[in-house]
Amino acid sequence: MNPILQTIMNHRSVRSYSTEPVADDQIRRIVACAQAASTSSYLQAYTIIGVRDPERKAKLAELAGGQRHVASCPVLLVFCADLRRLELAAEMEGVRPDETAASLESTELFMVALIDASLAAQNAALAAESMGLGICYIGGIRNRLAETAELLRTPDRVIPVFGMTVGYPARTNNRTQSRKQRLPPESVYGEEQYPDSETLKQSLTSYNADISAYYRERTGGERADRWTEQAATRLRRPTRLDVKEILLQRKLPLQ
């Protein structure tokens, strides 16, 4: 395996960081790597906000549901879907707002921004990991999204979509711990077309057995969750149902 495949396959979320700081130059490299990702039609429809200020991180940790590593990491990168920069570009070209509204308010362009932000983020994650840093994605910043957006002063047509904690892993991180096993490839990858239902069901059943064994081993038999059980539990508790309304308020109506 080449070093890139190794770095990719060795990924684990790191939630506990040493006090060793992350240098500005490292952040610059991470941002440069983020920017090197593909971007739809050269639009580059995302912005990254780097947070180091302890008070702001503590506040964001609270907004994200009390995730302590958001406060304790040296740097939190917040990835935003950004259509404002494009709107500004059109303004600079003297284009009237009514000429750009249909694009800026479309589901399509929001998808472009979300995809651009995510591709950039995954480059950032791997760049950080290649330098010995650890990262953890923080979807929790969508828990109280309006407050998060206000705290980071994102304007209309921009919305934070996830965070990423960055820092050197604390020694207590056991990097050799078994990685949480992913779905069997045949349920995630289809040849020529979407996998058929029977294949899917069978592979989820065999996956359940593996996942249960994993939990049993890690908890001395106390837990034996099935993956389908976890998924079902999550679906029965709808979360963040206010996201649509917040997007609308911030001029991202997903038309």
Instruction: Please choose, out of 63-71, 168-176, 216-224, 238-246, the segment that lies near its own copies by the rule CB under 8 A.
Output: 238-246
Tell me the pairing of strands 75-82 and 158-167.
antiparallel
CB atoms within 10 A of CB 217: 12
Rounded Cα–Cα distance for residues 38 and 44 (Å): 9
Could you tell me whether strands 134-138 and 158-167 are parallel, antiparallel, or unpaired per DSSP bridges?
antiparallel
**Does position 31 bind its own copies by CB under 8 A?**
yes
CA atoms within 13 A on the CB side of 211: 18
238 binds its own copies (CB under 8 A): yes
Q: How far is Cα 153 from Cα 18, in angstroms, rounded to an integer?
A: 29
Least separation, in Å, of the C-beta of 226 and its own copies?
8
Amino acid 242 reads: D
Binding mask 46-75 for its own copies (x = CB under 8 A): xxxxxxxx--x-------------------
Q: Which is nearer to its own copies, 58 or 183 (CB)?
A: 183
**Residue list 73-92, contact with its own copies (CB under 8 A):** 80, 85-90, 92
Among 172, 175, 176, 191, binds its own copies (CB under 8 A): 191
Using CB under 8 A as the binding rule, the residues of this chain from 9 to 28 that contact its own copies are 9, 11, 13, 27-28
Residue selected from 157, 161, 167, 214 as contacting its own copies according to rule CB under 8 A: 161
- Joined together, the tokens standing for residue 176 give 């050799």
Neighbours of 79 (CB within 10 A): 25
Q: Is 175 in the site for its own copies (CB under 8 A)?
A: no
Interface with its own copies includes 198 (CB under 8 A)? no
Only one of the segments 66-74, 99-107, 165-173, 216-224 lies at the binding site for its own copies (rule: CB under 8 A); that segment is 99-107
Cα distance between residue 131 and residue 1, in whole Å = 18
